[in-house]
Amino acid sequence: MLAAELTSGSAASLCVDARRSTREMKSAARRTGSNTDKNRLSQPALNASKADARTVRSRCSMPTTVSIHPTTIHRVERPWPRCGQLAANSRSLFQRALFHGIVAWSTHGAGMIDAKLSTFALNAVRRSMPLDQWDKFADIIVNDRRERLRNFSKPDPDKSWFGCLDQLRSQGFVKLPSTLPRPTVDAITGYLKENPVYKGPHVFAFDGRARSFDEARVDYSMVGYRSDQVIRAPHVVDLFNDPRLIDLLEAYLGCVPTLYSLNAWWSFPANKPELIYSQYFHRDIDDWRFVTLFLYLTDVDDASGPTQVIPGTHTPAGMTALLQKAKSQGRKVEGFDAAGSFVSTMGEQYSEEVERLFGDQVANVVGPAGTMHLVNTVALHRGLMPTSKPRLIMWARYGLGPTCNSSDLEHGPLSKRLVPTFMADSPRNRFVNRLLFDFDVGPEY
């Protein structure tokens, strides 16, 4: 059961209706002769009416949710989000004021447009804060989410993959203990080859022109798919909602995850990387806390474009340890401090400096088709261009909520009837997948 915010305009109209009700009762009493005991409007009734008006007026200053169920709709009062602690930790009065404004805006937003605008606004605030501080804010947020989303949590999670937690937390990446069977990989790959592709690795880099796979592989070194194409791929939604995976992610993130982005792209052999952001060492900055699942749909070895990760670079402590090691090896580290390395503007020069300092620490993530690995992509990472054979890779990103990279920004949630999935209709599944598809809306005919 998901919650939609009641707009401040609606709350204000409730206040007006309550005040109007009180005035009309008094007016009726005067018209019918309030001096007689028989017709007099009783003082207790008036007091009750005034109390109702005060109650509704108080609701105008408190967020109100409307809980929606297929058969029932009812109001549920809830207190303000516990955002004061977040704002108090902001680094300037401007950030504090803006943070409170955004919370009020998003809470009383007037629909989807305001919700998206508030997502972008909060993203702007987050990016104005030091990246190495984000995890502290994430702790505050997930503590609040854990309480608010407790009905979506499982009392007995499947801990089959919990053995991955230690490495994911300490190193920033881990290979999952399960590999997709070849028939499943072939079904996904066959579906994608039949779909048109676009120049670039993801929708934010596309040129807008759809091409056939056979045409594009001759002309371009990298092509990708729209997220709605990826969502419709066979097995994909069920794979990325594997209970073992979702329970592992909830333990890692600290609250029930939101699956907010799906992407798939091809890389074709090239002698050197194009001037594409993902080909250089960089950090992703989608959310306060998030994690990416990479799925190889072709065999990937050192010559076919492996993902590279520098273990430990997802935390300030890990960066400090690596810098100390580089210094002990005689490398010049001045001007490259642990906190300063968490920057959102990167490129070729930054990547070369990272490689100079930490090149001997780089880990190549390789494996046969069907291999899956989780990466905290705040860690320094990149995808190499293949030199021997094409590479097809897919990602699924999980975080604390909507982001500026959410799939819903492309097209809005799809109808679940258009998605090939055997997923059960449960409150937990609805919440995790709410940005990808809608369980209730049917396709247009």
CA dihedral 134, 116, 429, 86 (to 10 degrees): 30
Under the banding of pLDDT at 50, 70 and 90, the label for residue 45 is: very low
> Residue range 244-250: average pLDDT?
98
Tell me which residue of 283, 262, 314 sits closest to 382, measured CA to CA: 283
Give the pLDDT band (50/70/90) at residue 114: low
Same domain, 106 and 71: no
Q: Has residue 157 been placed in a domain?
A: no
Same domain for 328 and 203:
yes
Helix pair angle (93-107, 112-127), 10° resolution? 160
pTM for the whole structure = 0.75
CATH of the domain at 412: 2.60.120.620
Q: What is the pLDDT of residue 369?
A: 98
Pairing of the two strands 391-399 and 258-267: antiparallel
- What's the angle, vertex CA 168, arms to CA 167 and CA 173, rounded to 5? 105
Residues 125 and 72 in one domain: no
Q: What percent of the chain has pLDDT over 90?
A: 47
Does 379 map to a domain? yes
Task: Please tell me whether residues 52 and 88 are part of one structural domain.
Answer: no
Q: Which residue has the higher pLDDT, 27 or 319?
A: 319
Confidence of residue 279 (pLDDT cuts 50, 70, 90): confident
133 confidence band (pLDDT: 50, 70, 90): confident
pLDDT tens digits, 408-417 = 677 778 888 8
Residue 70 has pLDDT above 90, yes or no: no
Q: Which of 77, 97, 126 is the last residue of a domain?
A: 77
What is the signed CA dihedral for 399, 183, 370, 432, rounded to 10 degrees?
10
| More confidently predicted of 65 and 367 | 367
More confident residue, 52 or 402: 402
Examine residue 443 and state whether it is found in any structural domain, yes or no.
no
Start-to-end Cα distance in the chain:
27
Overall domain count for the chain: 3
* Backbone dihedral angles phi then psi of residue 3, each to the nearest 5 degrees: -115, 135
- Report, as an integer, the average pLDDT of 152-163: 96
Place of tokens 């809005």: 412
11 backbone dihedrals φ, ψ, rounded to 5°: -65, -40
- The residue among 127, 152, 177 that closes a domain is 152
Within this chain, do residues 72 and 88 fall inside the same structural domain, yes or no?
A: no
For residue 130, being part of any structural domain is answered with: yes
Phi/psi at 263 (5° precision): -155, 150
Task: Answer yes or no: do 100 and 36 share one domain.
Answer: no
Mean pLDDT value across the chain: 78
Query: Once rounded to an integer, what is the mean pLDDT over residues 262-270?
Result: 90
Region 65-76: mean pLDDT is 34
Assess whether 72 and 20 both reside in one domain.
Answer: yes
With contact defined as beta carbons under 8 Å apart, do 421 and 303 qualify? no
Domain extent at residue 89: 84-152
Q: Is the pLDDT at 77 greater than 90, yes or no?
A: no
Q: Which of 11-20, 60-69, 108-117 has the highest mean pLDDT?
A: 108-117
Question: Residue 358 is encoded by which pair of tokens?
Answer: 């930490």
Both 98 and 47 in one domain: the answer is: no
Cα–Cα nearest to 333, from 344, 347, 319: 319
Query: Based on the domain organization, do 54 and 102 belong to the same domain?
Result: no
Percent of the chain at pLDDT > 70 equals: 69
pLDDT at site 144: 92
Name the pLDDT band for 275 (thresholds 50, 70, 90). Answer: low
For residue 73, how many other CB atoms are within 10 A of its CB?
A: 10
Confidence (pLDDT) at 15: 39
Domain boundary among 77, 101, 124: 77
296 lies in a domain? yes
What is the distance between the alpha carbons of residues 95 and 90, in angstroms, rounded to a whole number?
A: 6
- Residue 17, both tokens: 């209706």
Reported confidence tier of residue 348, pLDDT bands at 50, 70, 90: confident
Least confident window among 180-189, 229-238, 270-279: 270-279
Q: Report if residue 445 sits inside a domain.
A: no
- Looking at residue 80, what is its pLDDT? 35
Q: Are residues 47 and 89 in the same domain?
A: no
Q: What is the CB neighbour count within 10 angstroms for residue 303?
A: 13
Kindly report the three-state secondary structure assignment for every residue of the chain: CEEEECCHHHHHHHHHHHHHHHHHHHHHHHHCCCCCCCCCCCHHHHHHHHHHHHHHHHHCCCCEEEEECCCCEEEEECCCCCCHHHHHCCCCHHHHHHHHHHHHHHHCCCCHHHHHHHHHHHHHHHHCCCHHHHHHHHHHHHHHHHHHCHHHCCCCCCCCCHHHHHHHHHHCEEECCCCCCHHHHHHHHHHHHCCCEEECCCHHHCCCCCECHHHHHHHCCEEECCHHHHHCCCCHHHHCCCHHHHHHHHHHHCCCCEEEEEEEEEECCCCCCCCCHHHCCECCCCCCCEEEEEEECCCECCCCCCEEECCCCCCHHHHHHHHHHHHHCCCCCCCCCCHHHCCCCCCHHHHHHHHHHHHHHCEEECECCCCEEEECCCCCEEECCCCCCCEEEEEEEEECCCCCCCCHHHHCCEEHHHCCCCCCCCHHHHHHCCCCEECCCCCCC
